Amino acid sequence: MQPTKIKLARESGFTIIELLVVLMIIAVLFTLSTINLGQAQVTASLSSTTNTLLADLRSQQILAMSGDIGSTSTNQPQGVYITSNNYTLFAGNSYSGGDPNNFSVSTNSITLSTTFASNQVVFNKGDGSVTGFSSGNNSITLSSNGESKIITINRFGATSVN
C-alpha cells in the first residue's frame, strides 16, 4: 500500500489587490474616453451651428435678391440680427424686435459676436450685396469652450469660414 498524501487545499480566485488594480485601470480608461468624447461633441456642435448660420445667411441673401414668398412678393432687404446667444432673421432695412415675422434661432452653448454695425447683416434688395459694408467690420465669431470659428462676409455677400 502506498502512503496517503495529504494534499494541501489551495483556493483559487483573485485577491482583493488584483481586483482593485483592474478596477483602477478601467476607471482611468473610462475617464480618458469621456474627456475625448466630450471634446468631440463641442466641436460637432460648433460646426453644426456654423453651418446652420451660413445657410440662414445665404437664405436671407437669396430672399433679398429674388423676393420673399410671404405676404409681399416684392424684393425687400433681408437681414440677420446677432446677439450673444441667438440670431434673428428679419425683413426690412433694419431689425425691429416687435415684428411678428422675425424668426429667432437659439445657439444654446455657442456664443456669437460680430463686428457688423448694429449687430446686423442686411442684404440689399435686388443684388444681395451687404448694406453699409465696411472692410474690417465684416465678421461673425462663434465660440464655445475655447474653440472658435469666424465667418467673414465680403461686400457682395459671399461668405468664408476660418
Note the pLDDT tens digit of each residue in 52-109: 999 999 999 999 998 766 555 567 899 999 999 999 999 999 999 999 999 999 998 8
Q: What is the mean pLDDT of residues 131-145?
A: 92
Helix (H) or strand (E) holding 52: helix 16-66
pLDDT attached to residue 100: 93
The answer as to whether 6 is a domain residue is no
The answer as to whether 71 is a domain residue is yes
The structural domain count of the chain equals: 1
The pTM (predicted TM-score) of the whole model is 0.73
The answer as to whether 155 is a domain residue is yes
Structural domain span for residue 52: 19-161
pLDDT attached to residue 89: 96
